Chains A and B, each alone.
Chain A
């Protein structure tokens, strides 16, 4: 943990869809520069909670501050300060690499000059200079994924939300992807990531595990393994998930 400045502060977040409670009284904090893993089985309520934190959905009740802003009342300011990458791949296939960067940076209000400078650096770093004017559709998936993440943090948000970012990617690319996440974290960007790959959970600074809309455990991966006397996160997860009443 790099800092004790709270970037996300959630108190008693509840979200109901009719009689179904998707998020049941969640409370947790995320600190600046932290990589916070948000784990849970499908249907446990991860995505719902994440959408509320991004301002995509309203909570039924609770107090939620993200980047020092209230998600109810300061949505517009909030949106400038967060980045988001969804599980579905999210760059435009029919635009070139640079056009994608220019578009996304543009909607965050960056000037064309800044965009050009920063994108040159970025492409050098990712070793994609030769692909600057290639359409995204021509690139291999691994590159697209890395590029999508880089675009999500291009405008330098305080926090970036990643919704299962490494779905369908091979282990080597996943490892490289996590290198980018570490780098972002070193630069002070808080990373809030949902995943169901348990090996990825080990990479996080802290992990919360959701079962049936509640947070059942929240600690460092080491702490959780000790507490549940498990050899890896997989085992921790299975023990907790067995408590689930959720039937497919």
Chain B
């Protein structure tokens, strides 16, 4: 055990003395999070909006007033029907169309139920969903106002339709996405590079000749990154929550347990990569092309999987972050419990076991 602690100490020296490692470890998650966060949660201001008012009563004009006076939206056009909507969207003349049903006011008061349709140009999916959220907020406020002191509450039901991208991914996607990317990067890439460095420098042979067991060496290499990755996971979730208001609706413990599992998976992948690469450069290239790009492109982080060609969708099944993103999205944003993510969890466990198995096998071949 004393030997192992000595080994750990040395690993931490390596990490803390290498500026590049430190930057990747602590600079990158924060910068990425801030970048993505602020790019996506750009405040709304004067979004162009058109209105189709089939009712034209005091309620609809009051609602329109409320919306335009919020400063978020700007009325650019009054339309007679929705026939022109598609063209307007394509020309970019409006980003949003609000459609009031006929007799909106009547329905709201007498029938206590009125519906309004929100049509958005979702070719910029994140903006579109943000706009809808803002609009719904305004509608809800108005709804509360008119309900004050009433026995039978009235209900405005907004119906949203996204043009061009009907299956919108959530605006909060970037937190799960960045979490997967960073954990993958720190765990898999940095461990594989650090093990490959020992091989390249010839120190691995010395370690193997020493009384340290191979398992101790590997654990010693991996433990610091396990620890640091976990801190990263906490930082990302924490920043998401406090800076961007991304909620954790489900169990926090489950979220952290799943993150730990993903870190273990990434670490075993890193070990596997290091067994097939003899130099830091090879390890870096492998991690970059085999891990980073698929993580960003094929995990559903930025580009929705549904819209991809079928072959790419099939390939995405072997990309571990794909499953992890589903898991944390469900836990964080939908508040799902373990019963909803056990399948994905099982897949990650299987992958972890697979990578460990492959590494052990590779390692034995080397000894023979």
| Partner-B contacts on A (CB < 8 A) | 54-58, 76, 79-80, 82, 84-95, 99, 102-104, 106-109, 152, 161
Output the nearest chain B residue to A77 by Cβ-Cβ distance: B211
- How near does chain B come to A111, taking the closest CB pair, in angstroms? 9
A86 touches B205 (CB 8 A): yes
- Chain B residues within CB distance 8 Å of chain A: 2-3, 6-7, 9-10, 13-14, 17-18, 201-203, 205-213, 367-368
Per a CB cutoff under 8 Å, which of A58, A79, A95, A107 touches B367? A58
Are B205 and A56 in contact, CB atoms less than 8 angstroms apart? yes
CA distance in complex: A170, B9 (Å):
34
User: Chain B nearest CB: distance from A167 CB in Å?
Assistant: 11
Check B10 against A99 for contact (C-beta < 8 Å).
Answer: yes
Find out whether the CB atom of B14 lies under 8 angstroms from the CB atom of A86: no
Q: Are A109 and B2 in contact (CB under 8 A)?
A: yes
Q: Shortest distance in angstroms between A51's beta carbon and chain B's nearest beta carbon?
A: 8
Chain B nearest CB from A243 CB (Å) reads 30
Q: How far is the CA of A104 from the CA of B18 in the complex (A)?
A: 21
What residues on B are CB-neighbors of A161 within 8 Å? 209
Residues of B within 8 A of A108 (CB): 210-211
29 A-B pairs with C-beta separation under 8 A: A56-B209, A56-B367, A58-B367, A76-B213, A79-B209, A79-B210, A84-B209, A85-B206, A86-B205, A86-B206, A87-B202, A88-B201, A89-B201, A90-B205, A91-B203, A93-B201, A95-B10, A95-B13, A99-B13, A103-B9, A106-B2, A106-B3, A107-B7, A107-B212, A108-B211, A109-B2, A109-B3, A152-B206, A161-B209
**7 residue pairs, one from A and one from B, having the closest CB atoms:** A88-B202, A106-B6, A84-B209, A79-B211, A86-B202, A94-B17, A103-B10
Closest beta carbon of chain B to A66's beta carbon, Å = 12
Beyond A84-B209, A86-B205, A90-B205: 15 further Cβ-contacts under 8 Å?
A55-B209, A57-B367, A58-B368, A84-B205, A84-B206, A85-B206, A89-B201, A89-B202, A94-B13, A94-B14, A99-B13, A103-B9, A104-B206, A107-B207, A107-B210
Q: Using Cβ atoms and an 8 Å threshold, which residues of chain B touch A94?
A: 13-14, 17-18
- Which residue of B10, B367, B368 is within 8 Å of A92 (Cβ)? B10
Residue picked from B6, B211, B212, most chain A C-beta under 10 Å? B211
Contact B209 A82 (CB under 8 A): yes
Question: Chain A residues with Cβ under 8 A from B18's Cβ?
Answer: 94
A93: nearest chain-B partner, CB-CB: B201
Across-interface contacts of B207 in A (CB, < 8 A): 107
- Write the nearest CB–CB distance from A61 to chain B, whole angstroms: 13
Of all chain A residues, the one with the shortest Cβ separation from B198 is A92
Give the residues in chain B near A79, CB-CB below 8 Å. Answer: 209-211
Query: Which partner residue on chain A sits nearest B16 by CB separation?
Result: A94
| In the complex, chain A residues whose CB is within 8 Å of the CB of B206 | 84-86, 90, 104, 152
- Tell me, in angstroms, the Cα distance from A103 to B211 when the chains sit together: 13
Contact in complex: A56, B13 (CB < 8 Å) = no
List, in ascending order, chain B residues with CB within 8 A of A82's CB.
209
Measured in the bound complex, the distance between the Cα atoms of B206 and A161 in whole Å is: 11
- Is B209 touching A54 in the complex (CB atoms < 8 A)? yes
Q: Which residue of A lies closest to B201 (CB)?
A: A88
Contact B202 A92 (CB under 8 A): no
Please give the distance in Å from B210's CB to the nearest CB on chain A.
5
Q: How far is the CA of A107 from the CA of B213 in the complex (A)?
A: 10
A108 CA / B211 CA spacing, docked (Å): 6
A92–B11 alpha-carbon span in the complex (Å): 11
What residues on B are CB-neighbors of A107 within 8 Å?
3, 6-7, 207, 210-212
